Amino acid sequence: MDKVRIGIIGLGNIGRFHAGYLLDGKIDRCELTAVCDAFEKATVPYAEKGLKTFTDGEEFIKSGEVDAVIVATPHFQHTTLGIAALEAGVHVMVEKPISAHKADAERLISKSKEHPDVVFGGMFQMRSEPRYQKIKQLIDAGELGEIVRITWIDTDWFRSDAYYQSSEWRATWKGEGGGVLINQCLHQLDTFSWMFGMPAKVRGFAQLGKFHDIEVEDNITAYMEFANGATGTFLSSTGEIPGTNRLEIAGHRGKLVLDHDKLTFIRNEVSADEWNKTSKIGFAQPDQWTIDIPFGDADMPHAGYIQNFVNAILDGAPLNVPGAEGINSIELANAMIYSSLIDQTVELPLDAKAWEDKLNELIEKSQFEKKVVEAPKEDFTKSFRK
Ligand SMILES: NC(=O)c1ccc[n+]([C@@H]2O[C@H](COP(=O)([O-])OP(=O)(O)OC[C@H]3O[C@@H](n4cnc5c(N)ncnc54)[C@H](O)[C@@H]3O)[C@@H](O)[C@H]2O)c1
């Protein structure tokens, strides 16, 4: 194969966005040949461009029309369609989250292990943002020394009631498996686990429908503890205007602060733990240097990830984010909401079955009546850069 015939399943906000740059020829050695959406009307503009169209995802995967697919449906179908693609030998890029909950993610990952020659990627393009690349580079280089505290206020995810009413699946236990955690701030939870690893314990305090007429959480404050004793707090919300994106990482050797578009490193001349043990006086601190760290913008991060996916298929290039890594953000999201609902601290690894059972109970007992109002199409891509 010297050119990948790619298809998209799910032609909503993000599916149409992927289709746009693929049709514009932005990806080398790749052609969008066919698309699929359960809602036939969504496929019509693509049929008019000469693409093959389908309304059943599994039939589409088995059709022989595509070598690879992007799964861009609501969350629960990521697992079923991902598994169908892996079984059919069709390479698959699954949109975030890779599944609606941890037990489903385990099923998907276990299927991918049975098919190691089929490429399985996760769309976690936020990791390619230069600000996060810089932070990871500084952490990995040991510039901060041992990390002792992480604080991330990530409330820059405002959504209106019109957003929630725009489709049946949104912000329901049954359609989405949760709210702000499994959908919006999942990107930051992925970036968090990539930069800092996984905590050992999580205590969540979530509020369901605090700002919106929805049954799932739209506000979360979580406290975490890592095996080395470092602590973390993570806050997110879809109800605040203006929102905040402020990440503060305190280490023995200094502090790194990302505040929206500004990244600052305050470096200690002598590391805090050494100063603590050696200083002969009580209040003084070592000298500190403040360094502003410049960074640019990622150039079409989603397209970059699809180019990497194509290169992985054709050349065996390493994936930016192997699909299996997608379980970490789901585990954090699930642990935060599960802990909130049972009003207890949970230890990680999270008991996947316990959360799946709880989620199924929430789905069964739901009395929520979802109001759906078709919203005018708008440019949602402004919400990408965080
Ligand atoms: N990586 C990113 O930056 C990013 C951005 C937005 C959304 N997403 C993810 O993409 C997914 C879709 O989000 P969206 O905002 O585009 O949703 P959406 O509701 O706008 O679109 C979903 C589409 O999937 C179709 N669909 C539903 N079930 C299907 C099935 N079984 N087979 C085929 N088509 C089906 C629907 O008809 C709809 O057109 C979500 O999981 C979301 O988290 C990722």
> How sure is the predictor about 373, in pLDDT bands with cuts at 50, 70 and 90?
very high
Report if pTM > 0.85: yes
Quick one: DSSP state of residue 371? -
- pLDDT for res 201: 98
Whole-number Å distance, alpha carbon 358 to ligand 1 midpoint, is 24
Q: Whose CA is nearest to atom 28 of ligand 1?
A: 73
- pLDDT for res 153: 98
Residue 293 · residue 264 · CB < 8 Å: yes
Is the Cβ atom of 134 under 6 angstroms away from ligand 1? Answer: no
Is 383's pLDDT higher than 80?
no
Residue 329 · residue 184 · CB < 8 Å: no
Is the Cβ atom of 14 under 6 angstroms away from ligand 1? Answer: yes
Is 378's pLDDT higher than 90?
no
Is the Cβ atom of 12 under 6 angstroms away from ligand 1? Answer: yes
Whole-number Å distance, alpha carbon 124 to ligand 1 midpoint, is 15
Quick one: DSSP state of residue 359? H
Whole-number Å distance, alpha carbon 251 to ligand 1 midpoint, is 39
Name the residue with tokens 């698959």. Answer: 92
Q: Tens of pLDDT along 176-204?
A: 999 999 999 999 999 999 999 999 999 99
Mean pLDDT of the chain: 97
Is 240's pLDDT higher than 80?
yes
Measured from the Cα of 78, ligand 1's closest atom is 41
> What CA–CA distances, in Å, run from 140 to 67, 250, 327?
36, 14, 22
Q: Tens of pLDDT along 271-311?
A: 999 999 999 999 999 999 999 999 999 889 999 999 999 99
Half-sphere exposure of 269 (CA within 13 A, CB side): 6
DSSP one-letter string for 203-235: EEEEEETSSSS-SSEEEEEEEEE-TTS-EEEEE
Is the Cβ atom of 39 under 6 angstroms away from ligand 1? Answer: yes
